[in-house]
Homo-oligomer: A and B are copies of this chain.
Amino acid sequence: MLKKELFFAGGDLRSAKLAEMFAQEGYIIHTYGLENYDFKNNNIIKEERLKLDDGKIISAIPFSKDDKYLNAPFAKEPISIKNLFEKAVGKEIIVGAVKQEIYDLANTNNCKLYDILDNEKLTILNVIPTAEGAIQVAMEESEETIHGNNAIVLGFGRIGKVLSKMLVGIGANVYVEARKKEDLAYINAYGYNMVDIKSLKEYLPRCKYIFNTIPHLILDKNMLEYVASDAIIIDLASKPGGVDFEYAKQKNIKAILAFGLPGRVAPYTAAKYIKETLEDII
Contact = CB atoms under 8 A, between A and B. Distances in A.
Interface in A70-103: none
B124 A170 contact: no
Interface stretch (A29-37, A41-49, A131-139, A251-259): A131-139
Interface in A153-210: 158, 161-162, 165-166, 168-171, 181-182, 185-186, 188-191
A218 interface: no
Nearest to A169: B169
Contacts of A145: 128-129, 132, 265-266, 269
**Residue from the set A129, A131, A143, A190 with the largest chain B CB neighbour count within 10 Å:** A143
Contact of A146 (B132, B139, B188, B268): B132
Interface in A102-134: 120-121, 124-125, 127-129, 131-132
Contact of A166 (B171, B266, B267): B171
Contact of A139 (B132, B147, B168, B190): B132
Copies in the complex: 4
Given A136-B136, A136-B140, A171-B166, A185 B125 contact: yes
Contacts of A165: 169, 190
Nearest to A188: B148
**Residue from the set A129, A165, A170 with the largest chain B CB neighbour count within 10 Å:** A170
A151 to B, nearest CB: 13
A17 interface: yes
Contact of A169 (B144, B170, B188): B170
**Residue from the set A132, A144, A189 with the largest chain B CB neighbour count within 10 Å:** A189
A147 B168 contact: no
Given A120-B181, A127-B189, A269 B143 contact: yes
A269 B171 CA distance: 14
B185 A127 contact: yes
A142 interface: yes
A181 B277 CA distance: 14
A169 B266 CA distance: 18
Interface string A219-262: 00000000000000000000000000000000000000000000
Q: List the 4 closest A-B pairs by CB distance, nearest first.
A: A169-B169, A143-B268, A124-B185, A136-B139
11 contacts: A121-B181, A124-B182, A128-B148, A131-B147, A132-B146, A147-B166, A148-B188, A162-B189, A165-B169, A166-B171, A169-B169
